[in-house]
Structure 1
Amino acid sequence: MFFELYRQRQQIAAQRDELQLQAEALRDADRRKDEFLATLAHELRTPLAPLRNGLDILQRNPNSENAGDLRNMMDRQLVHLVRLIDDLLDVSRVSKGKIELRKEILRIDEIIRSAAESSRPLIDGGNHRLTIDMPADVLWVEGDQVRLSQALSNLLNNAAKYTPAGGQIGLFAKSDGHHVVIRVTDNGVGIPEGMQAEVFQLFSQIDDHKQRSQGGLGIGLALVRQLVEMHGGSVDAYSAGPGTGSRFTIRLPLAAAPPVSDTVAPQRLEVPNNRSLRVLVVDDNPIIADTLGMMLEDIGHEFEAVHDGRMALDAARHYHPDVILLDIGLPGMNGYEVCKAIRGEAEFQDTPIIAQTGWGQDRDKELATEAGFNFHLTKPVPLEQLQKVFATLSP
């Protein structure tokens, strides 16, 4: 009897301890959620504030001598805002296994070049000097060009954020046995010894986000690790301590060079661009449709806009567009249905149809291709990207 009571008390004590641990874990999760939401609000307002300020100044004095600098600043802040949202979505997709890699044999120097171009605005904004040291031999890996460039760009962005103005950032690549080694170094704030194993944890911060204007959400490095590991590689961080800078090292399996083969030039759609093109813009948001039309007019084309999927086919029949810019999330008929209906008309079987939509996951792009779209652009669509797509429409 005594031993039975003792055993029951031990079980109750163990259950009490387990409940206490669970309660503490819930309190910690709730605290981290509140901190994340507060940080998210701060990070979203950070680019929105100068955008608002710049717009107010240009509205009051559009011909200000600082107008060019203001527009460049607003462009950089918009790029930063889009990147922030993309990182948030990507880390969620990767965590849920919803990102599929489109692997091919890639040159490391091209991945590095793409990453450096993506990070150049943030590096230049901090007046940093970027030094790139590439091996003489061409190194190859098997992977997804976009995702590997994204991972490396995130490391460069991290270096730019945590390095005081006028800092030094280095990018170095070499082969090491069966691996490609890529290192990103900086002479920034460094990482405390106890944090070096934690910087790749989701929402991890090197220091209190309230003490740094460039601290970020703590998702960039977590996304780096996830993407690199999806490629069979690894990433680690090293710092001698606060104020001594940081070094991040990516290791990826080396791949054999692809066989040399004759490449066939991709077919281009036969649409003359030596004249003004007639573009049908289909978007249920009138502001988006009108501003997109203004962009088209600015590069020498004309447009007509409709805001309902069911109206798109009739508008195409009457307007006879050379190109159609079509949203996906439309009332009445969605963009996929509209595209299929337009393709069903003999007149439009070869008309370039471009998806411009907020739905930008890989599956969305696959559905667009299946529906008959020629291109898929994710909102917000920069004018430069729109020009590049239009440039491919002619031989």
Structure 2
Amino acid sequence: MTDLLTRVAPPRGTAPRRAAPALLGYVAVRALGLLVLALWSAARGKSAYTLLTARWDALWYTRVAELGYGYEVRLPNGDVHSNLAFFPLLPWLERVLAAVSPLSCADAGFVVSLLASLAAAWGIFAVAEHVHGRRAGVCAVLLWAVLPVAIVQSMAYSESLFTALAAWSLYAVLTGRWLTAGTLAALAGLTRPVGLAVVAAVWAAGVTSFVRERSTADARAGERAPTPPGDGSTQRVGSSGGAPDAPRAPAVVRRALAMLLAPLGAAGYVLWVGHRTGRGPVGYLDVQAGWRNGFDGGLAFARFVADKFTSFPSALAGAGILVGVGLVVRLYVVCVRQRQPLPLLVYAGVVTALALCASSYFGSKPRLLLPAFPLLLPLALALSRLRTSRSALVVGGVAVASAVYGAFWLNGSGPP
């Protein structure tokens, strides 16, 4: 059970020198993506910076930062798009940075996302190094940087900020920093609805730790040697010669506090929305319903894919979607078989389930999977076992493809 919870190793992933190759590689890959986007956009007479900071969800975050909550759009079909659907941490940071600098809120969102993407890359490296070693850590960061929708990491969206908070919270759990883990989980819960995945990871690790330590204490209590007749003493098995070894009270308290802290961010915002809308605990669900977002176990997504097979051209897209979903599921199965620590499995599982089983706009699902970085660890481990020249060739080729796709995507339908 210990291997499923954590893998004890010195907490070295936070050292800047150790993370430098991963971060430099990440910056290089993302710079390539931005360069290709700038060239592509210029050729089409568009502004790459506008695409990154003032389109789609980025506009909604900027409005929250500038005007606060309460803005909504009523569509002809009766749907109501309210900005209450957007969690507040990114707009708060945009507002603060704009207040202390000459940047606009939109500019501040871009800066926050760039800095958060570096923090996320560092956190992914720390987690991957802890589990599989330094070389795999570098490969994990590079794989995250070359995902097909990785351009979102450089947009004024909340994915980079959320991934940074999630990665460092998970690393804190793996290394026993419980209060840090709980605090970062609470902040992740203020960033995106999928912050529930980080909360679940902290809770799973905490409950497992309590159960494991209880079982260990009971087992050691049973190992007490029987008292010989007339001896009048009892032999105890324990490091101090007293009661059997048990977790120190401060450690237990920190773990319990972390579990209490973790859900406060998400719960606080959802309850506030419920109070503001007058709908109580279901208020946020009503807001999401106005965007036609919900959780139906994947039924709507299944119908969407099935509809693709009604004609030949769209059937190719349907087949591609099935292959992509199959790859995601396969990667998760491999993560389980490789015995990733329990917090990573819980986090990746919840992120994946929420992304694939939600009834939201289906084109956003690749973006929603972006924070599920533990799914990349099997690929990172395999890549780390190749020769450096071969792994560099693979990453370089995929980086070019990712940059071209990102530029094409943002100049087309873009991330909803």
Where on the TM-score scale, by shorter chain, does this alignment land: which range? under 0.3
More helix by share: 2
TM-score by length of 1: 0.23
Structure with the larger RCO, 1 or 2 (CA within 8 Å, 6+ apart): 2
More strand by share: 1
Larger radius of gyration: 1
TM-score by length of 2: 0.22
